[in-house]
Amino acid sequence: MDPSFLIMWLGFMLASYSVVGNDSLQTLGTFLASNEDRPWYILWIFAGSILTATLVYGWYTYAGDVSYGRLEKYPFIEDISWPYLLPPLVLMLLTRTGIPVSTSFMVLTFFKPKGLYDMTFKSVLGYVLAFATAIIIWQLITRLVDKRFIENPIQPQEKRVWIVLQWSSTAFLWGQWLIQDFANIFVYLPRAISSVELLVSLVILLVMLAYIFYSRGGAIQQIVKAKTNTVDIRSATIIDFLYALVLLFFKQYSNVPMSTTWVFLGLLAGRELAIRFELGKRATISRGARVAGQVLNVLLVLAIAYVIYLRDVLGEVLICSFALLIIARTAVLMWEAQNHEPDLKGTLRMVGFDLVKVTIGLIISIALVYLMKFLTGI
């Protein structure tokens, strides 16, 4: 049997487990956290049916390309060799330790190192956009509902409605994530797969997904549980819905693969800062800090609107402007923290620590790319 054929399918199986295992934090983390009382196989059947529908739809609509066109610039490697098994193996190791690594950086850059810049640019923009959106939205949400969620446990009559809403938002999010991240898994297979390959790959994915649900997400699930009130089905529903909207925006914006890990951590980071700030702030916050925060919020909204309306005019200037706005907004938060409950600074440290961890993953990915070049002679 051709060794390339074995490496291709072994790579696919390793990528299936590694990618879904690592990124289950983003799409299914809040779903698992708020449904711990339900049997794992009920949750698996729900998620598996969405995975099946999304995979078959992409295969039928894109003439066998289940990546939804995201692998157009990543040619299939006919004589694939063993070094290409390194990315999912390293990703699996990091996932077992609870480190959220960008699977796009870890896997796709091996197949096209020149795409690293475009992928990094889009992923950083995704983090900034999700971070800014979460801060602005959750400052309002916390004032209106999140504080009530924390102080008043959900009642039985409310839970039925929120279960429907949460499962609907999870279905929306899970579908959007699959469309983004199928590229990280199916990069090992031909760009147009046959019906037999479709069936085999679907069975493999469903088995891997079953194990993820059986283990309740694994060690990486602790990142979600550490955030404020994510086990509340009401808060989990809002997180899933907003994250899905951000992914939908990037699906329409570009076919360049991106790190959904960076987007999700940006959303959680902005949400955590907004909630901690609103719940712990005092009336003694200076007028200057309050005005500066509101002005920066308006500028961030305008910047986001600019991206959405003029999405073909993106460049380094825009991403630098976004970064400067985020830095300025964080500085104002630190200013406001001087008259704030002590845990806001701790929250900033936690957010920074999460960002450091995914940045380390990016550095490891770049190092592996150069190692692969050395091993393959490319």
Q: Please give the average per-residue pLDDT across 288-303, as a whole number.
A: 71
State the pLDDT confidence band at 221, using cuts at 50, 70 and 90. very low
- Any idea of the CA torsion for 35, 36, 41, 45, to the nearest 10 degrees? 20
DSSP 281: B
The identity of residue 302, as a single letter, is L
pTM: 0.71
Please report the pLDDT score of residue 301 as a whole number: 65
Does residue 316 lie in a domain region? Answer: no
* pLDDT above 70: residue 189: yes
What does the pLDDT read at residue 51?
A: 94
Q: Could you tell me the pLDDT band of residue 220, with boundaries at 50, 70 and 90?
A: very low
- Assigned token pair, 269: 């980071």
Return the residue matching tokens 């939804």: 68
Q: Is residue 239 part of a domain?
A: yes
Q: Which residues, 6 or more positions from 377, have their beta carbon under 8 angstroms from its beta carbon? A: none
Mean of per-residue pLDDT scores for the chain: 75
Residue 18 in domain: yes
| Local structure of 46: helix, strand or coil | helix
Residue of 206 and 230 predicted with greater confidence: 206
Cα–Cα nearest to 12, from 66, 72, 68:
66
| 3-state secondary structure at position 340 | strand
Identify whether 322 is part of a domain.
no
pLDDT tens figures, 97-149: 666 667 776 777 777 766 667 767 767 777 777 777 777 777 776 666 766 77
Residue corresponding to tokens 């700030």: 277
Judge whether 327 lies within some domain. no
Concatenated DSSP letters of 204-253: HHHHHHHHHHHTTT-GGGHHHHTSTTTTSHHHHHHHHHHHHHHHHHHHHH
- Among positive and negative, which fits the CA dihedral 183, 47, 146, 272? negative
361: containing domain: 3-281+340-367
Mean per-residue pLDDT, 160-175? 84
CB-neighbour burial class of residue 316 (10 A; exposed 0-12, middle 13-18, buried 19+): exposed
Among 110-119, 200-209, 246-255, whose mean pLDDT is lowest?
246-255
Rounded Cα gap, residues 221 and 261, in angstroms:
13
Query: In this structure, is residue 261 part of a structural domain?
Result: yes
> Is the CB of residue 115 less than 8 Å from the CB of residue 256?
yes
Residue 360 forms part of a structural domain? yes
Classify the C-alpha dihedral 54-58-64-65 as positive or negative. Answer: negative
CB 269 within 8 A of CB 351: yes
**Region of poorest pLDDT, from 41-55, 65-79, 231-245, 339-353:** 339-353
Annotate 100-112 with DSSP letters as a single string.
Answer: ---HIIIIIHHH-
- How many domains are there within the chain? 1
Two structure tokens written together for 45 = 């059947």
DSSP single-letter state for residue 343: H
Q: Are 258 and 250 in contact (CB under 8 A)?
A: yes
Mean pLDDT of 180-189: 88
pLDDT-derived band at 281, boundaries 50, 70, 90: low
